Amino acid sequence: MALSAQTYAILQEKLLFRPSTNLLTKHPRGCNQSSFYANFVTKWQSLVNSSSASIDKQYKQLSLTRPLQIDHLRRPVCKSGGPCYSLDVEKSSISVGKKFQLDDVIESQQFDREILTDIFEVAREMEKIEKSSSASKILRGYLMATLFYEPSTRTRLSFESAMKRLGGEVLTTENAREFSSAAKGETLEDTIRTVEGYSDIIVMRHFESGAAKRAASTANIPIINAGDGPGQHPTQALLDVYTIEREIGRLDGIRLGLVGDLANGRTVRSLAYLISKYQDIKIYFVAPDIVKMKDDIKDYLTSKGVEWEESTDLFEVVSKCDVVYQTRIQRERFGERIDLYEAARGKYIVDSKVLDVMPKHAVIMHPLPRLDEITVGVDGDPRAAYFRQAKNGLYIRMALLKLLLLGW
């Protein structure tokens, strides 16, 4: 029996099933959300027509008078063989779209050029939403947990801002390494299993490379890697490529200079992976010897036909580049070897002299925070794009949250 328009509106706007009921599900790996939703509606209509449920027409809300008799609807089994997990019907006033191709965002290698183009299109729509006077409610009822084991300002706050600007809510821990049960010896896997019971999506930063993959293999809700030690930072790479497109006007034929701590910088590693999706790319690596780009990235670029070159002459490289991507030397990656840190720090600095040899169309980017590797005097130059770059992170993260939770 088909639902009437009025009844569907009740279902869409008023029906609220909490996790203890588990009547409607998310779309975990292998679950066909469209067919499951259709199956759910049929069972729900059956309930409405039975003596076990009644619709209060005055208040337009469903009341289940005998909930213990609907246990057969709990935790339906998905194609993957595991249980599906609960989803509030009230969470969005818009229909669920086609499922996003990715279950999690873990590394830059997950993306192809077509997906990137589509994500950037959604990001532009998110920019319109952010700039409009009316607040969006498309993620109303969803909870995002930010689980950060390392310090963060831009990434954590931009994710939290993204969720709230789309009507969602946030559960957060700023220093999970010190102030969570990890300090008591709890494993990452146990933490993830616990936190996923409180939230719909987890954004995690961790000090160990590969931690995000471990979290994703454990969780039944989406995991977003917000940086895993010296490993990767895929959402930073997404916003970096998005910024390059917005600033330069193209992504093919880019000449990119990566400068600074290339051995420990997860941002430059992820960017190198992602920019390789485009044609006629050349990357210049400019770094002190102690923090040169690692061979795995060089080998990957070679395998993809991307030309790369190492140089010690910042001025020569800058004069050839469309994008100069400066990074700080990361003291936290040197442990007790402060002597090595001091030897690497301050060798390559972007200042007014560097601006003098930069092409007029080129831009300077930086994942931030900066120390002294870009002088403050550069900030006023229109080619200094790093604060615009940081703002673009909001739009990219709004897009990812929408896509992972609602689909296209």
- Ramachandran region, residue 81 (left: φ > 0; alpha: ψ -120 to 50; beta: rest): left
Lowest mean pLDDT across 4-18, 86-100, 124-138, 390-404: 4-18
| pLDDT tens, residue by residue, 113-141 | 999 999 999 999 999 999 886 789 999 99
Which token pair is 296? 């795995």
Q: Is beta strand 169-173 parallel, antiparallel or unpaired with respect to 255-259?
A: unpaired
Q: Which residue has the higher pLDDT, 312 or 89?
A: 312
Give the residue-averaged pLDDT of 290-307: 94
Q: Which of helix, strand or coil describes residue 307?
A: strand
Average pLDDT value over all residues in the chain? 80
Please give the C-alpha separations between residue 387 and each of 31, 123, 395, in angstroms, as whole numbers: 40, 17, 14
Pair 193, 218: CB distance under 8 Å: yes
Lowest mean pLDDT across 8-17, 45-54, 304-313, 352-361: 8-17
Q: How far is CA 211 from the centre of its chain?
A: 15
Tell me the residue type at 307: E
Pair 291, 264: CB distance under 8 Å: yes
The pLDDT of residue 339 is 77
- For residues 197-217, one letter each, b for 16 or more C-beta atoms within 10 angstroms of the residue's C-beta and e for the rest, the string is eebbbbbbbbeeeebbbbbbe
Cα distance between residue 300 and residue 64, in whole Å: 57
Which token pair is 177? 């390494």
Q: Which of helix, strand or coil describes residue 309?
A: strand
Q: Where are the beta strands (DSSP E) in 129-197?
A: 143-148, 169-173
The pLDDT of residue 8 is 45
Pair 33, 80: CB distance under 8 Å: no
Confidence of residue 39 (pLDDT cuts 50, 70, 90): low
Percent of the chain with pLDDT over 70: 71
Give the residue-averaged pLDDT of 273-298: 94
Cα distance between residue 280 and residue 227, in whole Å: 28
Nearest by Cα to 140 from 106, 162, 163 = 163
Which token pair is 199? 């939230």
Give the residue-averaged pLDDT of 367-396: 95
Nearest by Cα to 202 from 185, 179, 225, 218 = 225
Could you check whether the bond before residue 369 is cis, i.e. omega within 30 degrees of 0? yes
Domains, the chain, with CATH or none: 113-232+392-406 (3.40.50.1370), 235-388 (3.40.50.1370)
How many CB atoms neighbour CB 225 within 10 A?
A: 28
Q: pTM (2 decimals)?
A: 0.75
Q: Looking at the annotation, which residues are catalytic?
A: 154-155, 184, 205, 233
Give the residue-averaged pLDDT of 260-272: 90
Q: How far is CA 331 from the centre of its chain?
A: 25
Give the residue-averaged pLDDT of 11-29: 38
Give the residue-averaged pLDDT of 179-196: 79
